[in-house]
Structure 1
Amino acid sequence: MADFDFMIVLPAFLAGLLVLATHIPLGAQVLRRGIVFIDLAIAQIAALGVIVAGAAGLDPAGWTVQVAAGVAAVLGALLLTWTEKRWPDVQEAQIGVLFVLAATAGLLLVAHNPHGGEHLQDLLAGQILWVSFAQLAMPALGALVILALLTLFGERLGRLGFYLLFALAVTASVQLVGVYLVFASLIVPSLAVRHYPDARKLVFAYLVGVGGYGAGLVLSVVLDLPSGALIVWCLAVLAMLVYAAGPRRPGAPA
């Protein structure tokens, strides 16, 4: 640890902060709406857009791939808006079905690609440790837009506005950190503080997120373990500690 250079993980840590900036307030709304798996579904659909773009021969580092991921995520958001309006009582089940369809469609599309398995692994677990400063400009701009819209409109976004904003957030983050970290960043910090007073919820949720990303990145370098998977575990452990140390809920066992 004495020779550890924090500059190695700084771009990855900043990428994590950008993801947390939007996903934590969105995660609070997801828990309130009771649609926990929407993030997995939209993230998987955005990843499917990336796979489709790759199958079409588009430059994986080009802006067209971003557009493909964004279009896929928006179409998924529009579909979920329609299903929630038509069959609201089974919306969570519909989200799960959509996730499975998107995941298996990705498997089919890369079935004959010799590097398909590696590509899928990157989209799921992410390659956050290899993020560069240059990759952070567009996600930073997107995060500012999303936070501004959340601040200005909040609950007035409505069903369609929420899903579209969600699609924008996931499109920006899934290629930075992968599907697993996108889901963990959305749900785990908000889940840890759900019994905290409203005035303290966001503060402690962000502390869980920042601590999880920081500890996971450092440990992944020191222990030479996959960064994305280790960050997920660090987020989960910190969330359990914060939940246990929080205020006792009325009626909870001593």
Structure 2
Amino acid sequence: MIELLPILIPALVAGLLVVLTHVPLGHQVLRRGIIFIDLAIAQVAALGIVIAHQLHLVDLFHGVEYLISVAFAMAAGLLLAALEKRIRHQLEAVIGCFYVLAATAGLLVLSHDPHGGELLKQTLSGSILWATWDVLLWHGVIVALVLALLWFKSNLLNGVWFYPIFALAITSAVDLVGVYLVFASLIMVPLATHQLANHKARLWIGYGLSVAAYAAGLLVSAWWDLPSGATLVWCLAMMALLFTWVRSRQTKKLV
């Protein structure tokens, strides 16, 4: 296990970067009632990655894949922001349509690529174990920018600016951990802690549970040679369930 530390430590840092933005954004998503927006935006970002590969744009210069992914996610975010005022009650259904259209578009684009299945798997399950320090540094800058907006311009989240900010955070996370883990990181633990009345407690408990789940998941996947993305999703789910069970027990004792 010690020999795996050079791989596991950067992977844990990647998870930490995702958690830093996803826990507060997850509570915002739950408050707005647009649960599947992360899946939709993440899938659109993944479609940008797929198209960049198919058009061989990744050969142009380092980072072009990420820029195209951001462009796709931002376009989807801005479109949803424009639609929010017009079809507020149907917005969740439209978000679902975004997801399924982006997912099937990826399948169509890769339909004649013999290596398409591997690329599709990577965008969904991620490659967190292959995170490198130079990549983490770049994503750290993105996370710092999003966190600065969350902390110092938190009122932006109450309006249409929520969507481009959300798209920026989601695109960075998809590049690091994949679509499945993006959804799990954004929803599972925040869903378990959302009913806590104290905002700071809700936030810090969410951070603690998420980081613990990432650490446990990486250790389990390394120990039993399991797919890291899928293992981490289940660890996040188990951590959220454990917290819910402990809190329900404490509530019964107080009654």
- TM-score scaled by structure 1? 0.94
Partner Cα distance (1:138, 1:42) in 2: 21
- Structure 2 counterpart of 1:204: 205
Give the 3-state SS of the residue equivalent to 2:161 in structure 1: helix
Partner Cα distance (1:157, 1:29) in 2: 8
- Structure 2 counterpart of 1:237: 238
What is the 5 A alignment of 1:10-49?
Answer: 10-49=9-48
Contact 2:142 2:172 in 1 (8 A): yes
Partner Cα distance (1:18, 1:114) in 2: 33
- Structure 2 counterpart of 1:214: 215
CA deviation string 1:58-77 (max 9, x = no partner): 12782111110010000000
Residue 225 (structure 2) pairs with residue 224 (structure 1): yes
CA deviation string 1:43-102 (max 9, x = no partner): 000001111111111127821111100100000001111221111001111100100000
CA deviation string 1:134-177 (max 9, x = no partner): 21011100111100011112134443210000010011110110
- Structure 2 counterpart of 1:115: 115
Contact 1:213 1:235 in 2 (8 A): yes
Partner Cα distance (1:160, 1:214) in 2: 35
Return the letter of the residue paired with 1:17. L
Give the 3-state SS of the residue equivalent to 1:108 in structure 2: helix
- Structure 2 counterpart of 1:126: 126
Partner Cα distance (1:4, 1:64) in 2: 33
Range moving further from structure 2, 118-127 or 191-200: 191-200
Q: Which runs of 5+ in 1 are unaligned?
A: none
Return the letter of the residue paired with 1:64. V
Give the 3-state SS of the residue equivalent to 2:40 in structure 1: helix
Aligned residue pairs, count: 251
Partner Cα distance (1:202, 1:121) in 2: 31
In the TM superposition, residue 247 of structure 1 has moved relative to its aligned partner by: 5.9
Over 3 Å counting, the alpha-carbon distance change for 1:116 and 1:34 in structure 2 is same
Residue 76 (structure 2) pairs with residue 101 (structure 1): no
Contact 1:38 1:95 in 2 (8 A): yes
Superposed structure 1 runs of 4+ greater than 4 Å apart: 247-251
Return the letter of the residue paired with 2:210. G
- Structure 2 counterpart of 1:6: 5
In the TM superposition, residue 250 of structure 1 has moved relative to its aligned partner by: 8.5
Partner Cα distance (1:18, 1:202) in 2: 15
Give the 3-state SS of the residue equivalent to 1:111 in structure 2: coil
Give the 3-state SS of the residue equivalent to 1:160 in structure 2: coil
In the TM superposition, residue 28 of structure 1 has moved relative to its aligned partner by: 0.7
CA deviation string 1:162-211 (max 9, x = no partner): 00000100111101100001111111110111122323101111111101
Contact 2:7 2:130 in 1 (8 A): no
Partner Cα distance (2:93, 2:178) in 1: 23
Over 3 Å counting, the alpha-carbon distance change for 1:246 and 1:70 in structure 2 is same
Give the 3-state SS of the residue equivalent to 1:95 in structure 2: helix
In the TM superposition, residue 8 of structure 1 has moved relative to its aligned partner by: 2.6
The share of aligned pairs that are identical, in percent, is 47
* RMSD of aligned residue pairs (Cα, Å): 1.8
Residue 88 (structure 2) pairs with residue 88 (structure 1): yes
Give the 3-state SS of the residue equivalent to 2:111 in structure 1: coil
Contact 1:217 1:231 in 2 (8 A): yes
